[in-house]
Amino acid sequence: MVSIEELIYHFNQSLRVNDHILMMLKEPIRIRVELEQNLMYLTLDRKRLLIKHTRPLKNYHINIQTTADHFHSLLQGRTSLKKQVDEKHIILKSTFRQLLKLDAIFVLNQK
């Protein structure tokens, strides 16, 4: 399986090409991801793109709990965040607006 760092690298490379997608981001989105007992702290930012932090952040806009496989397919744009939430593959805590925004960014970035 591809490492999360490699997936983030490819995601960011694609965002550089599809930089118009970043216009949806007025403010950075802080994301906490729990993958089978592993915690990841991410920020999706207009200038610095998707960043993995080594320490927890103070607060989060979105909390995601899922398996590594489901998160990888999300980062690769192979499946919709909303669809994975609806099918209960992902447990998500966020506003509906943040869900739609993040979903659009993931899917549009891979088109």
- Which CA distances in Å does 7 have to 51, 69, 74, 100? 11, 12, 10, 21
- Beta strand spans in 1-111 (E): 29-35, 38-45, 49-53, 62-66, 91-93
Which tens digit of pLDDT belongs to each residue from 90-108?
999 999 999 999 999 988 8
Predicted local distance difference test score (pLDDT) of residue 30: 93
Which tens digit of pLDDT belongs to each residue from 41-59?
999 998 888 888 888 888 9
Query: Has residue 111 got a pLDDT over 70?
Result: no
Which tens digit of pLDDT belongs to each residue from 58-92?
899 999 999 999 999 998 888 899 999 999 999 99
Pair 78, 69: CB distance under 8 Å: no
Q: Tell me the two tokens of residue 44.
A: 């999706």
Which tens digit of pLDDT belongs to each residue from 10-38?
999 999 998 888 888 889 999 999 998 88
Indicate the CATH number for domain 4-109: 3.30.1050.10
Q: Where are the alpha helices (DSSP H) in 18-88?
A: 68-75, 81-86
